[in-house]
Amino acid sequence: MSRLKSAGAGLLALLFAATASQAQEVVVKVGVAKGLGTAATMLAVVKGYFKEAGVRVELENLDSSANVMTLLAQGQLQIIEGGISVGYFNAIERGLPITIVSDRVSTPLNHKLLIRADLADVIKRPGDLKGRSIASNGPGSVTTYEVAQILRKDGVGVKDVDVKILSFVNMGMGLTNKAVDAALVIQPWASQYVDRGIAKLFADPDDYADPRPMTIAVNMVNTDWAGKNKELMRRYYLGYTKAVREYCQAYHGGKNRQDIIDMIIRTGLEERPDIIENTPWPARNVNGRINMPSLLDMQKYYISEGLATKELSADLLVNNEYVDYATEKLGPFTVENAASKLEGCR
């Protein structure tokens, strides 16, 4: 009888511990865009790194960036992962409680400036694009900034070309029906359009990035919420950075690459094995650091185009404390596959 009581007491203790553990978990709503760029975040969920940190992450798909800053500023999302657009700089200028805390995608970007196949003998250098139509996914998007970096090498500005706004999936049709002469395209569409003979590769923005490396996608947080949850944020980014490091090992062809591919397919981030195998993976800074000269240059571009009005200081734009905490805890990162020559994820 005493043994039965003891066993019952032990079971109750385990149930209490499990309930207490769940009670201690804090729900963090994270807005993400489906794709390979989200692999590290999903990995941290699947491997329980966030759970170890006392966090229950709820991922919410961001189908559009139109109102994402508002959702973050209002606290409906605590963290978002997305591209750097002029909307970010304008939100900071308006005093909204948001800031960048981590790199997510940076050089090499593997974006491509493509031209129509029939113009390959006509357009030879950036200056030849003057007066031509170029597709971008948004006037205040980072891809238009990439176009600007390519054009300025020949003294040409974005105002000297006709920027047409198209989604990446529709850029192929725009090139095919001659609605545009060129397009700044991300992967996997860039490779697909070239393989299908729709377009020719004209320029790689990575070759024109100055300052370099260039960060184009980041993690942003609601600063009001983060200020009240500093210890939670440290634990979150410790778990996140663990996953980033595993992703980067796979990026460089490490022994875990197939495991990461299987996870990507299983979770639906990308269900086409050929795309995962044949398309370059998004690179990133393994320690989550933003190259501030690049970000400040991006800000100057938006101001020069009349899309933003005020030059903001670096400390208003980025907070490195959480990724720096994680890096200090985890120590130096070393690529396991010493034979890898890939830039990025180091």
List Cα–Cα distances, 112 to 82, 147, 156, 304, in angstroms: 19, 10, 18, 24
Sketch the domain layout of the chain as residue ranges. Answer: 24-106+214-330, 112-208
Ranking 10-14, 106-110, 124-128, 157-161 by mean pLDDT, the lowest is 10-14
Give the chain's radius of gyration (CA, Å): 22
The pLDDT tens digits for 245-275 are 999 999 999 999 999 999 999 999 998 998 9
The pLDDT tens digits for 35-78 are 899 999 999 999 999 999 999 999 999 865 557 889 999 999 99
State the pTM of this model: 0.89
Residue 297 contacts residue 221 (beta carbons within 8 Å): no
Q: Which fold has domain 24-106+214-330?
A: D-Maltodextrin-Binding Protein; domain 2 (3.40.190)
At residue 139, the pLDDT reads 83
Shared fold status for 24-106+214-330 and 112-208: yes
Domain 112-208 has CATH 3.40.50.150: no
For the residues of 111-150, what is the DSSP string, one character each? -EEEEEGGGTTT--SGGGGTT-EEEES-TTSHHHHHHHHH
